[in-house]
Amino acid sequence: MKDTWVSAAAGRRNGGSPERIGDVVSAGEGEHGGGASAVGGPPGHLSEPARSTASRAGGSAGVRLMLEDGRSFTGEAFGVRGETFGEVVFATGMTGYQETLTDPSYHRQIVVMTAPHIGNTGVNDDDNESEKIHVAGFVVRDPSRIASSWRAQRTLDDELVAAGVVGVSGIDTRALTRHLRERGAMRCGIGSAAQDPGELLERVRTSPSMVGADLAPQVSTPAPYVVPAATDVPYFRVAALDLGMKRATPNALRALGCEVHVLPARSSGDALLELAPDGVFLSNGPGDPAAADYAVQAVRRVLDAGVPVFGICFGNQVLARALGFETYKLTYGHRGVNQPVADIATGRIMVTSHNHGFAVRAPRDGVTQTPYGRVEVSHVALNDGVVEGLACLDVPAFSVQFHPEAAPGPHDAHGLFERFRDLMAARR
């Protein structure tokens, strides 16, 4: 892999080699390219493997991925050829790319898959977690040219093209991931390698930041709807605040006999309570929780009413802020299906699915007094000690930063939905 520097002002190439990010091994300059530089300092069974019919404009025509700090990578077009901007983040895990693409929490983010081979199981109509792909861009090392799975209905490339998603393949995602681990998630752009890299860098640096971004209303349902219980008679009524909710979450609740009333992100606390719910669920979602004061105020109204609350991911952060805790942006976040978390009370270790770039700042030891009584940290991440859950001791509320519904990922934490059910039953 050859590294070069380019002046952001004039786009002039100067020979030289910037600091290397580890011992990067390139797959070669031909089909898999991957040069890096720095700038400015029924489920559709297919009897035969599905082959891409997308117009992948490109072959060897270059696509540039430009990072906010000036480093760039060149590869090939994947999905549609075009230009896109967002926060670049990496997701760990060998599987689950379809659920990742359709997770609303990835809104306005360019996702890098750390697994090198992506797309081999294709895409089907059953595994989407929302009605569309939400990522701003998609980055892979080696996309599969065929989809070989009895569940596959389309290739990943065709799906990206149909959704208008800009992507890049053939870059060394190991080098990119290590760069993000060392320097943090940052703004990024994908565009043609033929354009002036200095101009692309300038556009990246003027694109919106994730800090202060209020994104939940952009991906929330525009109108209320109901997910019926899977039982003949619903046992509980749950009001779910949709901050960017995945489909697997209400499905997990309905399986426990809950009738789930889903409300838009900006719904007030009174709107939630008008449903006379047995409990209120706070969903996952994108953006900075500090910008979602409307949700914080709604949750405080629910806490005042004594209605049980369960929050996950973004909902965990909203509950934390309602209790008086602060949130902050992680350096590179937790994203993927293989994140170990410890339950402090039991000592149990769970492998969990994560997707968050912000976290809660709370004392990990002991009990904290809040306007709603005593609160303690219930879960912590084993990789970095980040707070991963809160438990209220004087009001019926708890939350976790990870995804107990998985989709994708392991089901180690699925019992948290049963805990919510039991909490609602106890408050009747």
Q: What is the pLDDT of residues 3-22, one digit of tens each?
A: 333 444 433 333 333 333 23
Check whether 172 has a pLDDT greater than 80: yes
Is 314 annotated as belonging to a binding site? yes
Is 355 annotated as belonging to a binding site? yes
Average pLDDT over residues 325-347: 94
Check whether 328 has a pLDDT greater than 80: yes
Return the CATH fold of 216-427. Answer: Rossmann fold (3.40.50)
Q: Which residues are catalytic?
A: 313, 403, 405
Give the C-alpha distances (Å, rounded to integers) separating 144 from 18, 63, 117, 133, 165: 32, 18, 7, 19, 17
Is 195 annotated as belonging to a binding site? no
The whole-number pLDDT of residue 406 equals 86
The whole-number pLDDT of residue 35 equals 52
- Percent of the chain residues past pLDDT 90, beyond the cut: 78
Is 310 annotated as belonging to a binding site? no
The whole-number pLDDT of residue 42 equals 36
Which position has the higher pLDDT, 30 or 76? 76
Please, what is the average pLDDT of the chain?
87
Average pLDDT over residues 392-408: 94
Q: Where in the chain is the domain with CATH 3.50.30.20?
A: 5-205
Q: Where in the chain is the domain with CATH 3.40.50.880?
A: 216-427
The whole-number pLDDT of residue 61 equals 62
Is 137 annotated as belonging to a binding site? no
The whole-number pLDDT of residue 118 equals 95
Is 105 annotated as belonging to a binding site? yes
Q: Taking a C-beta distance cutoff of 8 angstroms, is the pair 390, 343 a contact? A: no
pLDDT range class, residue 150, cuts 50, 70, 90: very high
Single pTM value for the model: 0.86
Q: Which CATH number describes the domain made up of 5-205?
A: 3.50.30.20
The whole-number pLDDT of residue 411 equals 84
